[in-house]
Amino acid sequence: MTLRNMLLGATMLCAAATPAIAFAQNAGASDTDYGNEIIVTASKRSQTLQDTPIAVSVASAADIENSQIRDLIDLQSAVPSLRVAQLQSSANTNFIIRGFGNGANNPGIEPSVGVFIDGVYRSRSAAQIGDLPNLERVEVLRGPQSTLFGKNASAGVISIVTQKPQYDFGGSVEATYGNYDAITVKGNVTGPIGENVAFSLGGNFNRRDGYAQDLRLGKDVNDRNRWGVRGQLLFEPTDALSIRLIGDYDKIDENCCIAANVIAGPTVAITDLLAGGTSVDAANPFSYRVYNNFLSSNEIENYGGSAQIDYDLGALALTSITAYREVRADTNQDSDFSGADLIGQKSDDTAINTFTQELRLTSDFDGPVNFLIGGYYFHEKIRQHSQIYFGDDFRPYGNALIQAASGGLLDVPTLEAALGAPNDSFFHAGDGMDEHYRMKNTAWSIFGTLDFGISDRLTLTLGGNYTKDRKRFSTDVISTDVFSGIDLDAAAYTPFREFVLVSSGVDPATAAFLAANPTLTLPDGSSANPLAGLKDFQFLPPFLDVPNSVEPGRVSDGDFSWSARLSYELTDTVNVYATYATGFKAASVNLSRDSRPLAADLPAIVAGGLATPNLVAGTRFAAPEESEVYEAGLKANWSVAALNLAVFKQSIKGFQSNVFTGTGFALANAGKQSTFGIEFDGSVRPVRGLNLNLAVTYLDAKYDSFVASAFGDLSGMKPAGIPDLSVSMGGTYTHEFAGGTRAIAHVDYQYESPTQIVDGLAALPASVAQNLKREVNQLNASFTVALTNGLELGVWGRNLTNARYLTTIFNAVAQSGSVSGYPSQPRTYGVTARFKF
C-alpha cells in the first residue's frame, strides 16, 4: 500500500549514478547472452544492473522460459533469498525474503513482501499467483524498500514486468503437454493500430489433473485449472507523451490443497471408526493419498485496469499511474483433512476492491544534483463472509473424546441433561459460526529521493517517505455452538459437580464442600471442577463483535521511513555501495473468528457488562512492523563474467506473527527478529554459448525477543522455516548450427539446508516441532531446438530428483496429538512447442 506502487514502471531514482529501484531487462542481448547485459531504466536513461546499488535478483524472459517457471511459486528455484509457500488454498500464498514475510490466511493481515505487476500493487496473495502471458522479467528486491514502495515493503518487493505493445507486428503462441495430462497454452500478439498507437493482446490457459488421489471420493486432487486474458494499448501522440492502458482478467477454479498426515495422534482410532475404515494415510505424508468427505474448491476471479502516463518536460519527467482492481475468492475446504465428517464446511467468500494513485516528478539534470518527489494514495475495501459448521460425525467424535477425557464417566447426552441443554444440541451437525467481516483501509504518503554526485565516481542518495495509514473494521459473528457458550465454571453447576464427585467415590459431605469451592483440588491433585477438562472442546465460543463501547474498531498509524546510500565506482566495471534503510508495515487486523479483545481492554469490557461466555484476551490487531537494514555490497560486470555480493544485518521490530494453533490463528507481535546474511550471485561465460550462474544465500536468523508467542518464550531461538544456506546454480548452453538453427540446453539446481519447519505445535512437546525439518534438493532441466522459421520444440522437467519435503506443518484441526502438513509438488515433465512471429 503506500507509495510503492508504480515506481517499478520506469522512472524512479534520478541521478545518473544511483537509482533506488532496479528495472532490469535484456538490452537486446541475444539468446546466448544471459544475464550480463541487464539494463536498468530510470528517468528514461539506461544503466546496467551492476551500477544499481541495491540487492536485486532478476529473472529474464529467457530464464523463465528455460526453467519452465509457471508462476511465482516456481520462482523461488531461481532466487535463493526468496521462499514461496503454498498454504491451504489457491488463494493463500506466502512470500518470504531473507527470512522475513507473512500475510496469508487472513485478509486483514497485509504482506511484508510487496508484489507489483507493471507498477501496480497487488495487496493480497489471491491477486498475485495467476499465470501471466508475455513476461519480460521478474525482479526481486531484497531488504526494506519502504522509501519508494511504502508501507507494504518492509521485507522486500517482487516486481513483475510484462512487455509493452510494439509498433512492429509480431507475437508468439506456445503449447505444452506434460504428465498428469497437463495442458498449457499461451499466446500474445502485438502491433500497430495507427502511426502513434500500438496494442498487445495475450491469453493463457493452464489445466492439469491432480497429482494426488482422494481414495474416499475416488478423485484426483490438487489439480490446476486457470486462464486469463490481458490487453494493452500504448498511445504516443507526441515524442514527450506516452499513455499505457492495461486491462486484465484471470480465473482460477481448482481443487487445492491437500494436507497429509505427518504424525498420527490418538484420535486417529476414533476417526477411523467413524469413517468406517481408513480416515488418514497415517504418518505417510508423501504418499499423495488422502481421505476427505468433499472436494475442496477454490474459485478466484482477479481483474482490473491501470493507466500509466509519462510526460517528458525536458529536464523533468512526470509520471502518473492510476489503478483499480477487484478480487473475488470463494473457497471451501474439508479442513479436518480426514475421512470422518468432522468439519462439514469451512468456507471463505472474500471480496477486495482496491484503488491506487501515484504521481511523481523526476529530474534529469546535467549537474551533480537530481531528485524524485511524489505522492501515493491507497484505498481498499475488504468484505469476507466465512462459515464453519460441524459435520455429521462431530457429535459422535466429541462424545468419544469426552468419554475418554472423563474416564468413561461422562458422555454428551449426560452433559446435555445435567447442564439443562436441549437434547442433541451439543456438537449438532450444521452448528458452528457464521462470520461477516468488513475493513476499509485508507493510506497516503509523500516520498522523495535526492541524488548528489560528490565526485565523478562517488554518489550520495538520500530518501524519505512519510506514510499515514488508517483502518476501520467491524465484525458480525454468530456462534450456534451450544456447548461452547456454556460457562463451565459457573456456580450454577455446583450440583452437577457434586453429583460427579459422588459418582467418583468421594463422600457426599466432601463432595458438597469441593463443589462449592471450585478453586480447591482433590487429594490426588486433580481439579475440584470435573468439567474443567472439557473446556478444550469449546471450539467456537460466543463472539464479542467490534465496534463496541470499549473497542472502536479503528487503528491509525504514521511513520517516516528513510534511507541513505553511498555508491562508489572503483573502476569502470566494479562498484561498491553501503546502505542504511528503514521500513514500515502498518498495523494488521485480525479478521477471523480468533479475534479477541486485547488484554488491556478486557477489564473495561467486563466492567461494562459486554463480556460474552468464555471470553478471553487475544488480539484484535497487531501493531506495526518497523524494519531496518545495514548493508554493504559490491557489483561487477566484465566482458565474460558478472557478480554481485551483499553483506547485511536486517531486523524487524514487532514482526507480525500469524501462527496456526490447531483451531485458529494466533496473531502477535514478536519483540524483534534479526538476521545477519551474505548473498552472492554471479555468472560467467567461459566459452561462447555457455553461461554458468551461481547464487548463494547464508542467513543467521534469531528472535532477539519474542516472549508472548503462541508457543511460549522464543527469545534467543532461531525462527523456523529459514535455512542457513540456500543455493541456486545452473547453466545454459546454446549451440548454433549452420543455417541458423539453435539447440539450447539448460539445467538448474536448488538446495536448501535442513531447517525446522515451524516454531512449535500446540499441546505437543517442543521436541516434536524441532525434529520436523525440511531440506530441499531440486533439479530442473530443459532442452530446446529453435528453428530459423520461428518454431521451437523442447522437452523439460521440474523437480527431476522428485525431492519430497513439507512446505509447512500444523496441528490437525480438532485432533489433538495429530500433525498435518502440505507436501511439495512431485516431479513434472513435458514437451513444449513455441512459434514466434
Is the pLDDT confidence value at 650 over 90?
Answer: yes
Residue with cell 482433590: 522
Q: How does pLDDT run across 472-482, given as a tens digit for each residue?
A: 999 999 999 99
pLDDT for position 137 = 83
Confidence of residue 27 (pLDDT cuts 50, 70, 90): very low
| Strand 113-117 relative to strand 156-162, pairing | parallel
Distance CA 812, CA 272 (A): 15
Question: Which backbone phi and psi does 344 adopt, to 5 degrees?
Answer: -80, -20
pLDDT for position 493 = 61
Between 348-357, 560-569, 754-763, the lowest mean confidence (pLDDT) is in 754-763
pLDDT for position 754 = 96
Q: What is the DSSP-derived secondary structure letter of residue 493?
A: G
Average pLDDT estimate for 649-658: 90
Question: Which backbone phi and psi does 663 adopt, to 5 degrees?
Answer: -125, -10
Confidence of residue 50 (pLDDT cuts 50, 70, 90): low
Average pLDDT estimate for 125-146: 78
> Regarding predicted confidence, which is higher, 404 or 18?
404
Distance CA 18, CA 461 (A): 7
User: For residues 599 and 538, is the Cβ–Cβ distance under 8 A?
Assistant: no
Distance CA 78, CA 559 (A): 34
Q: Could you tell me how far CA 610 lies from the centroid of its own chain?
A: 36
Q: How does pLDDT run across 413-426, given as a tens digit for each residue?
A: 988 887 888 999 99
Average pLDDT estimate for 643-666: 84
Give me the count of residues in the chain.
Answer: 837
Distance CA 368, CA 457 (A): 11
Q: How does pLDDT run across 319-343, given as a tens digit for each residue?
A: 999 999 999 999 999 999 999 999 9
Is the pLDDT confidence value at 586 over 70?
Answer: yes
pLDDT for position 379 = 97
Distance CA 82, CA 375 (A): 29
Average pLDDT estimate for 114-128: 82
Percent pLDDT > 90 in the chain is 64
pLDDT for position 533 = 73
Is the pLDDT confidence value at 104 over 60?
Answer: yes
Q: What is the architecture, at CATH level 2, of domain 5-192+206-392+429-482+541-836?
A: Beta Barrel (2.40)
Is the pLDDT confidence value at 588 over 60?
Answer: yes
Average pLDDT estimate for 270-295: 95
pLDDT for position 126 = 65
Is the pLDDT confidence value at 51 over 80?
Answer: no
Reduced to 3 states (helix: H, G, I; strand: E, B; else coil), residue 74 is helix
pLDDT for position 526 = 55
Confidence of residue 1 (pLDDT cuts 50, 70, 90): very low
Q: How does pLDDT run across 542-558, given as a tens digit for each residue?
A: 999 999 999 999 999 99
Is the pLDDT confidence value at 247 over 50?
Answer: yes
Give which of 608, 653, 609 is closest to 629, Cα–Cα. 653
Most confident of 17-31, 219-233, 508-522: 219-233
User: For residues 149 and 155, is the Cβ–Cβ distance under 8 A?
Assistant: no
Average pLDDT estimate for 563-569: 94
pLDDT for position 802 = 94
How crowded is residue 524: how many other Cβ atoms within 10 Å of its Cβ? 5
Please state the domain extents for the chain.
5-192+206-392+429-482+541-836, 489-530
Distance CA 468, CA 664 (A): 31
> Regarding predicted confidence, which is higher, 247 or 405?
247
Is the pLDDT confidence value at 702 over 80?
Answer: yes
pLDDT for position 408 = 77
pLDDT for position 670 = 83
Sign of CA dihedral 399, 259, 808, 95: negative
Average pLDDT estimate for 15-30: 31
pTM: 0.88
Distance CA 274, CA 399 (A): 12
Percent pLDDT > 70 in the chain is 87
Is the pLDDT confidence value at 3 over 50?
Answer: no
Is the pLDDT confidence value at 660 over 80?
Answer: no
Is the pLDDT confidence value at 6 over 70?
Answer: no
Is the pLDDT confidence value at 708 over 70?
Answer: yes
Chain mean pLDDT for the chain: 86
Helix, strand, coil % (nearest 5) of the chain?
10, 50, 40
Average pLDDT estimate for 356-384: 94
Confidence of residue 18 (pLDDT cuts 50, 70, 90): very low
**Strands, sheet with 289-290, edge to edge from the N-terminal-most edge strand:** 219-221, 212-214, 289-290
Give which of 660, 616, 617, 668 is closest to 814, Cα–Cα. 660
